[in-house]
Amino acid sequence: MATVKTRAYPWTTNLKDKEISLRLMQPDDRDRLIGFAKSLPEDDLLFLAVDITRPEALDQWVHNINAGMIKTVLAEADGRLIGHGTLSHNALQWTRHLGEIVLLLSPDFRGIGLGSLLANELFSIARELGLQKIVARMASEQRGALQVFERLGFRAEALLGDYVIDRQGRTHDLIVMSYDVTGLTE
């Protein structure tokens, strides 16, 4: 595997005339991320392994950041958190060659390339970590998310029926998609 240059954070770019800053999440961003999660439509949160609107879930997230098991890239515009991309992995598991990607974007900033920008940041981090494959999961109704991941090169691996349950007790199918990181080029 080729040597991968580590990205220096923070950095700024423009997407559709909007200045976007990217930086790594720090423990003191916990409450901002909870507020961001609570601002999203509930359907956006269904595919997550945990309910990140709950403080104890973010406490675990911060613990995992400190333990090196999670890398979260925050996207900000005008001082406002507008999205994040997260890559999780556990080097102690038999699946240590895998990472899981989560992208959450503010509805106001969708369709401008922010999802692709964050995904590419996570692909770089995955290469730095020596990961071979990235997986993403989403509720089957999330057509927009499915399309974004398909455009990024992910392919469907599994459909798990009635795998997710929402706050109203309704179940939803979960789709698992994957991407081969080893095929990425610099």
User: Per-residue pLDDT tens for 94-103?
Assistant: 778 899 999 9
φ, ψ of residue 111 to 5 degrees: the values are: 80, 10
**């515009």: which residue's tokens?**
77
- What is the C-alpha to C-alpha distance for residues 64 and 95, in angstroms, rounded to an integer? 17
Q: What value, to the nearest 5°, has the Cα angle with vertex 86 and ends 139 and 43?
A: 25
Nearest to 43 by CA among 115, 131, 146, 120: 146
Is 11-131 a domain of CATH 3.40.630.30? yes
- How would you write the pLDDT of the chain (186 residues) with one tens digit per residue? 344 456 789 999 999 989 999 999 999 999 999 999 999 988 788 778 788 999 999 999 999 999 989 999 999 999 999 999 999 997 777 778 899 999 999 999 988 999 889 998 998 899 888 899 999 988 888 887 888 889 888 999 999 999 888 888 989 898 999 999 876 544
